[in-house]
Chains A and B, each alone.
Chain A
Amino acid sequence: MGKYIIRRLLWMILVLFVVAFVTFCLMHLVPGGPWDRDKQLPQTVIDNLNRKYGLNQPFFVQFKNYIFNAVRGDLGVSYIYQDRSVTSIIMGGFPVSATLGLVAFLIAILVGVPLGIAAAIKQNSFIDYFAVIFATIFASMPNFVLGILLMIIFSVTLHWFPTSGWGSIRQIIMPAFALAALPAAYMARISRASMLDVTRQDYIRTARAKGLTERVVLIRHILRNAMIPVVTIAGPELAGLVTGSFIVESLFSVPGIGRLFVQAVSQRDYGLIMGTVLFYAFAIAIINLVVDILYGMIDPRIRYD
């Protein structure tokens, strides 16, 4: 297992390098730059700005400088938020997105998985139909539609929560639910399907034939095996939620990193784009590694060497 982890980490370094290079190329190939304004800046001012940020140097020199600084932890300065380093911006935005993502993830798991399990155990009952309808509705509703609905109902009409912002528990609830709807629906469907599949396996028959109580069969045999596909999808879901959703963050004015990233791209903020992409790649690679290891622990059939 140890050698496996080391191998994965080495691969991760290579992946990050390739991601950095491809992003750097794409950024500079796309038309338009950070100094393009509707009221065009005079050439002297543009020259001064390019010199300040090293944009007047040849492409590969810029890339080399960037990588050398990045490995030392200096991701450069944002071109738009000129007084703040990319690292401080990301460190300011990521905990917010991560908190929101984790809360949404917990809601998705605590709502979706039990619902799916209950639906599978009581197939074709009221709970089953309810779960399937729930999953279909929330899988097809876009999260900004859900977000606005929540805002209108719970903020404007009922005055239970503030409409937007960040800092108190009351402000997390609506964006977390808006974000959790789709993963919850997805988890419900997957856990239901997986439970149904495992319940029909031969080894469950064997367990029952051996006289084990239904409770033991459920917890020690069915659930453990049925959760494997759920863990498999839970990992990437968590990665997606934690890296921030642009739409929900924009709607509820959550100062997270998803909103920052999309804004950075449209404003050609090279420094922030590179920093965020590298950070995302790193976060996703780590989360995938953790999920794979977890997977190995849950499923005894998997062996890493």
Chain B
Amino acid sequence: MVKHNDGLKVSRRDFLKTAGALGLLAAAGSSIPLSIFSTSCTSTKSSTPTTAQELNLNLAGEPAQIDPNRASWAAERSVISQVFEGLLGFDKTLTVIPVVAKELPTVANKGISSDGKTYTFNLKNNVTWSDGTKVMAKDFAYSIVRMLDPDLATEYASFYYPIAGAEDYNSAGTKTATEKAALKAAVGVKATGDYTLQVTLGDAYPVFLQLMALWPVYPVREDVITAKGDTWTEAGNYIGNGPFILTEWVHQDHMTFAQNPKYWGTKPKLTKITYKMITDANAALAAYKNGELDMSGVPVGTEKATMGDATLSPEIVRNADLTTFAFQFNVHVAPYDNLTLRKALSTAVDRASFVDKVRGGVGKVALSWIPPGMPGYDATLGTEYSFDATKAKALLATALTELKLADASKLDLRFQYSDTASNKTIAQFLQGQMKDNLNIDLTIEPMESKAFTQTVNSAKYTWAWYGWGADYPDPDDWLPQLFGTGAGNNHTTYSNPAFDAICKTAGKELDNAKRLQEWADAQKMVMADAPIVTMFYRERFNLVKPYFKGLTPTGMDGQIMGDQFWTNVTIEK
């Protein structure tokens, strides 16, 4: 047999040897420079005289667009709040305060007319844009009218329909250019002086000042927008009047902010903020542990494990959101149209067990709709729906008699949900509760996310999960558009003329105490009719590095906890 492998053997061995050596060299070579640059290691550093005041946070995704007039998502607000400031704002207790305005308009200081329809804002005259020019009333007038432009198609325009002429202008998309121009001129927002802005409403609207504290009416620069068009929101063109400026935006990767050198107010202590865009929750936590992020959430379901972890548990910070989650019924679809049945189902759900098992103990049981931290929260409301299996069974028996059904197996109850892992857990929890407490077989129906949204919005669902977060902290945002007859976000199809009547009066009531009492009565009405089964008030659960001081979480935060007050933050290493 001819030995022909000898030559091969040598060359193969050589080949493998060289390949292996090269591989090891490459690994060694790449590891050396890494440890030099990696400042996240727990190596001892000589203490620097001043710690760099730089913050690294996770925006968890790219904002769709950061034009204040057009923004609607939480991630966008996290950016806009740093670069812009409005006439009014919210302090950390969610009270409306003047920011660019000299003082809050009231009837007493003639800022609000006695009929409540005309608002006059006096601006401070030392507020500057980041390029040094002064912020004037015309910037606000331009911004508000631009926000109502039908061709710009902003998503928050309808919130400002109380302004005279706003709805007509915003609905004028199909009209001719001359008609549009006329309607635009008729909008009740005018700069009556360099530093005076006058807004006329169609009717008195007591929460109007809260609307003026929101981002769609932040000032924007007409000359910049005209000159740069769609690129005005890129770093470098993005001129704002807030404490920070956007210095860098690498799309889909990160955003960097620096101090605004021309800021008119107290300069923040932070010199640099970086928003990374890590979408995966596990990767974000790994980045936090590796020192790349100064604050991070934890993957859903790991909250209990985090609370039990000795290193991580001292770094936990929790804050209540102004968000309520509930199950909603379609009250015009049998058998959910029967009030006793709805009450039975509501009493049969163990909310404490839900918060503990499904939410990992993060969040508070909700027995009524409006969450704590907001005016209108009523801790005594809804106690009749506290979990009570015996009571639930009795109510169910009554309901079956009313529906003329022999027993629970004749009920065909279905629950639709958007098919994600967390929603599936919620659906299965509900299914379990129905079986254990009422011996009802609930059919759960998963749907694709947008298909589910469409089904709910067109009221074709029967029973579904629902959440609502505050646009502004007032019952005005929580009741009429959700439970008013035919209202835009009324997916339960709940219709109660008495409720509609209260909405009408409370919506215009200028006496605040009286107004809040009317909303309290309205909420009682809704809870008595049980179109929803309130489940829990959401809480944010974050890990925060010990050197991250001054974090100020509020109920109106955007995507990132505390993002309304980065001006309070210092880094103390």
Judge whether A48 and B254 touch: CB under 8 Å.
Answer: no
CA gap between A218 and B468 in the complex, in Å: 70
A162 to B34 alpha-carbon distance, docked (Å): 9
Cβ A165 vs Cβ B450 within 8 A? no
Instruction: State whether A83 touches B450 (Cβ < 8 A).
Output: no
Size range of the interface on B?
A: 35 or more
What residues on A are CB-neighbors of B152 within 8 Å?
A: 48, 52
Q: Smallest distance from the beta carbon of A181 to chain B beta carbons, Å?
A: 16
Contact B12 A121 (CB under 8 A): yes
Docked-complex contact A33 and B252, CB < 8 angstroms: no
Q: Of the listed stretches A14-22, A60-68, A249-257, name the one at the interface; the rest are far from the partner chain.
A: A249-257
**Is A138 interfacial (CB 8 A cutoff)?**
no
**Contact flag A40-B489 (CB < 8 Å), given A45-B155, A159-B35, A173-B30:** yes
Q: Which of B147-169 contact A (CB under 8 A)?
A: 150-155, 157-158, 167
Given A49-B153, A215-B7, A268-B450, A44 and B158 contact (CB-CB distance below 8 Å)? yes
- Whether A165 pairs with B254 at a CB distance below 8 angstroms is yes
A9 located at the interface, meaning its Cβ lies under 8 Å from any Cβ of chain B in the complex: no
Measured in the bound complex, the distance between the Cα atoms of B65 and A51 in whole Å is 19
Interface centre among B6, B279, B468 (most CB of A within 10 A): B279
Rounded to whole angstroms, the CA-CA distance of A122 and B16 in the bound complex is 12
Binary contact readout B35-59 vs A (1 if CB under 8 angstroms, 0 otherwise): 1011011000000000000000000
Q: For residue A93, which residues in chain B have a CB less than 8 angstroms away from its CB? A: 252
Confirm or deny: B390 has a beta carbon within 8 angstroms of a beta carbon on chain A: no
B4–A214 touching, CB < 8 Å: yes
- Whether B193 is near chain A, meaning CB under 8 Å from some CB there, is no
Q: Which residue of B lies closest to A36 (CB)?
A: B453
The residues in A between 205 and 249 inclusive whose CB is less than 8 angstroms from any CB of B are 208, 213-215, 217-218
CB distance from A163 to the nearest CB of B (A): 4
A81 to B75, CA, bound (A): 13
Return the CB mask of A88-127 against B: 1 if under 8 Å, else 0.
0100110000000000000000000010001001100001
Contact with A along B246-259 (1 / 0, CB 8 A): 00001111100000
Contact of B70 with A252 in the complex, beta carbons under 8 Å: no
B454, closest chain A residue (CB): A32
Q: With A41-B155, A155-B290 in contact, is A208–B2 under 8 Å at CB?
A: yes
Interface of chain B residues 490 through 538 with chain A (CB within 8 A):
491
Q: Which of A81, A152, A160, A260 contacts B38 (CB 8 A)?
A: A160
Q: Which residues of B contact A37 (CB under 8 A)?
A: 453
Please give, as numbers and ranges, the residues of chain A lying within 8 Å of B454 by CB-CB distance.
31-33, 36
**A38 within 8 A of partner (CB):** yes
Of B124-132, B280-288, B357-365, B426-434, the one contacting chain A is B280-288
Judge whether A259 is part of the interface by a CB distance below 8 angstroms.
Answer: yes
Q: How far is the CA of A170 from the CA of B34 in the complex (A)?
A: 8
* A interface size (C-beta, 8 A): 65
What mask results when residues 419 to 448 of chain B are scored 1 for a CB within 8 Å of chain A, else 0?
A: 000000000000000000000000000001
Closest A residue to B171 using CB positions: A44
**Binary flags per residue of A149-189, CB closer than 8 Å to B gives 1, else 0:** 00110011001111111110110010000000000000000
Q: Which residues of A contact B173 (CB under 8 A)?
A: 47-48, 51
Is B109 an interface residue when CB atoms closer than 8 A count as contact?
no
> Do residues B4 and A208 form an inter-chain contact, with CB atoms below 8 A?
yes
Closest to A49 in B: B153
List B contacts of A252 (CB < 8 A).
283
* Contact for B70 among A32, A82, A250, CB less than 8 A: A82
From B151, which residue of chain A is reached at the shortest CB distance?
A52
Q: How far, in Å, is A255 (CB) from chain B's closest CB?
A: 3
Q: Would A165 and B150 count as touching, CB distance under 8 A?
A: no
User: In the complex, what residues of A have CB within 8 A of residue B167's CB?
Assistant: 44
**Least Cβ–Cβ distance between B183 and chain A, in angstroms:** 13
A122 to B11, CA, bound (A): 12
Tell me, rounded to whole Å, the shortest Cβ–Cβ distance linking A223 to chain B.
12
CB-nearest residue of chain A to B39:
A159
For residue B276, which residues in chain A have a CB less than 8 angstroms away from its CB? 164-165, 253
Tell me whether A159 and B170 are in contact (CB under 8 A).
Answer: no
Are B157 and A255 touching (Cβ within 8 A)?
no
> Nearest Cβ distance between residue B45 and chain A, in whole angstroms?
14
Contact A31 B450 (CB under 8 A): yes
Query: Is A5 among interface residues, defined by CB-CB distance under 8 A?
Result: no
The yes or no answer to A132 lying at the interface (CB within 8 A) is no
Contacts known (A82-B65, A213-B7, A266-B449); A163 close to B287, Cβ less than 8 A: yes
Please indicate the chain A residues that have their CB under 8 angstroms from the CB of B34 in the complex: 160-161, 170
Assess whether A45 is in contact with B157, with CB atoms less than 8 Å apart: yes
Does residue A80 face the partner (Cβ distance < 8 Å to B)? Answer: yes
B71 → A minimal CB distance (Å)? 10
- Do residues B62 and A81 form an inter-chain contact, with CB atoms below 8 A? yes
Which residues in A have their C-beta under 8 angstroms from that of B254? 165
In the complex, which residues of chain A have a beta carbon less than 8 angstroms from the beta carbon of B11? Answer: 215
Quick one: closest B residue to A253, CB to CB?
A: B278
- Check A156–B4 contact: CB distance below 8 A: no
Whether A253 and B283, one on each chain, are in contact in the complex, defined by CB atoms closer than 8 angstroms, is: yes
Query: Is A2 interfacial (CB 8 A cutoff)?
Result: no
**B24 CB, nearest partner CB in chain A, Å:** 14
Contact B453 A32 (CB under 8 A): yes
- Closest Cβ of chain B: how far from A213's Cβ, in Å? 6
Which residue from A80, A169, A213 sits with its C-beta under 8 Å from B64?
A80
Report which of A81, A167, A266 forms a contact with B65, defined as CB distance below 8 A.
A81
Residues of A within 8 A of B457 (CB): 36, 40
Q: For residue A231, give the distance in angstroms from its CB to the closest CB of chain B.
A: 21
- CB A54 to nearest CB in B, in angstroms, measures 12
Give the CA-CA distance A155 to B291 in the complex, in Å. Answer: 10
- 5 A-B residue pairs with Cβ-Cβ distance under 8 Å, sorted by A, are A45-B157, A45-B158, A163-B292, A165-B276, A260-B252
Leading 4 A-B pairs by shortest Cβ distance: A32-B450, A255-B252, A48-B153, A31-B451
- A-B contact sample (6 more), CB < 8 A, given A82-B70, A162-B40: A38-B467, A114-B15, A148-B282, A162-B290, A214-B8, A253-B280
